[in-house]
Chain A
Amino acid sequence: MNIACVLITHLPVKAEQRRDPALLGRPVVITESFGSKQVVLDSSPEARGVTAGMSLQEAVSRSKDTVLLRADEPYYDSVFTEMLTSLEGRSPLVEKADLGCAYVGLDGLEAMYGGEARLITSLLQAVPHQFNPRIGVATGKFPAYVAAVTSSGGRASKAPDDVAGFLKEFSIDLLPLSWQNKTRLHHFGLHTLGQLAALPAGSIQAQLRAEGSRAWALAKGIDPSPLASWQHEEVVAEFLTFPSPTVTQHAILTALATLLGRAFVRPEIKGRYVRTATIESRIVRHTPWVKHFPFKESVGSKERALFSLKSRLDNLQLPGPLEDMKLTLGGITGESGIQSSLFSDVRKREQLKEMMRQLEVLLGCKAPIYQMKEVEPWSRIPERRQALVLFDP
């Protein structure tokens, strides 16, 4: 099967530069939080010496006049989702891998596009030019990824038929292995895929277990893993910006009511029900605030959705003043259903037992409550078919 790997390197930085073109040409470092620690998620080429995973202090000391940004992961996800949707318009088989990496099934499409070159050009055009995508084509996902890594921005390259020979000079760092396992391989003096492929599979498996046997197969150019088609969820999103950053409950609920009102008149949702709501807000000097609210019972109107969300927002602690609000309604369905309690039967039985106990106290005898039971449902004599028996929960 022919597979194309569409790779967008430094997607977070490119997404921030698209949102704010003033960042172009400046050293940009995007950080994310790991507990109390701030580490680098991504950086622009102008931030020299800064790499992903580096601590914020080290990054700042290496690159002067750096623009520091907090990671806006929902935004990066939405940018990447746009690209996947665009790729899906060109091929029915698109797999979402990591952020900025997608695999596209090419089989049967060449004839439609008038050749492989035109098909690849079309895939490159599916991604906005400022993201400078790279494409690698091969018969498996891993060789396609390596081909994409070796390609330059806005270009495509194809792995030769001798995949193992093509891969042998590349670093083992390209393998989907944990950092610890990559370090172990380097300690064993195994730096290239060719060195790894030359060893017996059993030796690698003995050291790295299942991860090792997969790594060995990939180093040999064997990647039979199929493409898992990306499941595109139908959602409806509405957005507004606050005139000034706000923390008041009243302003937040008013904004939410406005967004719900807009969303529920959209043709995609009219007359249907939604099961989830996601609220995203940017916060001054802070990572975006994202909250996901599943509805216990799917809702089909603005009023019911607002009623359900209002009670849950009451007890929420906001990390700071909200600058804007994006509401995404998902799980769109044509039917309404109730999520029943797992223990409802048990609870009902307990309630019945208590009710019977009280009746017995009141009457001074066993409560005359009966349950209908089938006795001889096949009988030709009607009064023999069912009987009432004393109910004992």
Chain B
Amino acid sequence: MVQNPREAASSSPIRSLNLPAPIQVEEDAHQRPLAISLRRRRLGVASVDDLWEIDEEWWRENPIVRRYYQLTTEDGRPMTIFRDLVSGEWYRQGG
């Protein structure tokens, strides 16, 4: 018999929505995305549809500096990814 653990679910009163998720991206010499890895599958970038940068909270210890790419993968899927210009890591994010 499986007992009900009666563990408290997360009681955090506020949760952020749309948090960035790390993603593996193959980039070129100019740090532009060439392909991404999604569920162990390599998907080439068919087109970059939009590109923008944000540079926020520069006065803090961890400033938010990102270069966003709105792209379409070779299987026709639209996607928004960004490169953290401080850490050099890639993330996927909706909205």
- Chain A interface residues toward B at CB < 8 A: 363-368, 370, 372, 380-390
Contact = CB atoms under 8 A, between A and B. Distances in A.
B54 interface: yes
Contact of B16 (A364, A367, A387): A387
Nearest to B54: A380
Contacts, number: 51
A370 B18 contact: no
B93 A382 contact: yes
B78 interface: no
Q: Main SS of the interface on chain B?
A: loop
B95 interface: yes
A387 B14 contact: yes
A365 B56 contact: no
A378 B93 CA distance: 17
A171 B19 CA distance: 88
A384 B64 CA distance: 12
Interface in B8-26: 8-11, 13-20
A336 B7 CA distance: 50
A158 B14 CA distance: 82
Contacts of B30: none
A365 B11 contact: yes
A389 B93 contact: no
Contacts of B18: 382-383, 385-386
Contacts of A388: 14-17
Contacts of B11: 365-366, 390
A363 B64 CA distance: 39
Contacts of B17: 372, 383, 385-388
B93 A387 contact: no
12 contacts: A363-B6, A363-B9, A364-B8, A365-B9, A365-B11, A366-B9, A370-B15, A382-B94, A385-B17, A387-B14, A387-B15, A390-B13
